[in-house]
Amino acid sequence: MSAVRTTPSDSATPSDAALPSDPAGPAPGRRDAEATKAVILRAARYLLARHAHADITLKAVAERAGVSPPLILKYFGNKDTLFARVMSFETDAGGLLDAPVRELGRHMVRYVLESQVERGADPVLRIVFAPLHGEHGEVLRANFRSQVTARLAARLDGPDAGLRAELALAALLGLGVMFGIARGAELRAAALDELVDRYAPAVQAQLTP
């Protein structure tokens, strides 16, 4: 929502003129609402990466997010609307691919690891569980192909861009599974910078062969 800009005029009263002409950001209530929505979406993504869509209840999402089920209904309307947002990769792809191609391998590896460590949610790992979600799994696959794979491939120069994009993403998904699902002890004990240094070249090799 755009902030309303007020400009003093000849007819303005002293109290009008004293109002700030450009409020700094959204009102606290709106900031709180957006933060709460983000927490709910993270909780739903976490559950979708571990359970079948049919088995996930709004109560489970609410408990994971630390909110009440009615609050989820207030912000998202129903479970289908909530998970339509969760099954989109648009926002996640924006963060995952936010680097020049020559630096993208390191960025993507770091982004996946930091997302798991700091936010408890991998940006793309939920695609691995598409077979669990029945017809919703097809939505998840279609979104992943168009919003992540195709978007990455479009940025790559040279032949076989689509294949190379899929191979790079396969490497990231394998890393996400080993770190977040298998919870490899050595992997999780290593310093993040070391993991990036060791793993990123394999990803970058597909991006700039």
Residues of the chain with pLDDT > 90: what percent? 55
Residues 78 and 108 in one domain: no
Q: What is the pTM of this model?
A: 0.72
Residues 73 and 96 in one domain: no
Q: What is the CATH number of the domain that holds 67?
A: 1.10.10.60
Contacts of 105 (CB under 8 A, 6+ apart): 168, 200, 201, 202, 203, 204, 205, 207
CA angle 70, 135, 148 (to 5 degrees): 85
C-alpha span between 47 and 40 (Å, rounded): 11
pLDDT per position as a tens digit, 98-130: 999 999 999 999 999 999 898 777 889 888 888
Domain that holds residue 34: 29-86
Residues 164 and 178 in one domain: yes
pLDDT per position as a tens digit, 130-158: 887 788 888 899 999 999 999 999 999 99
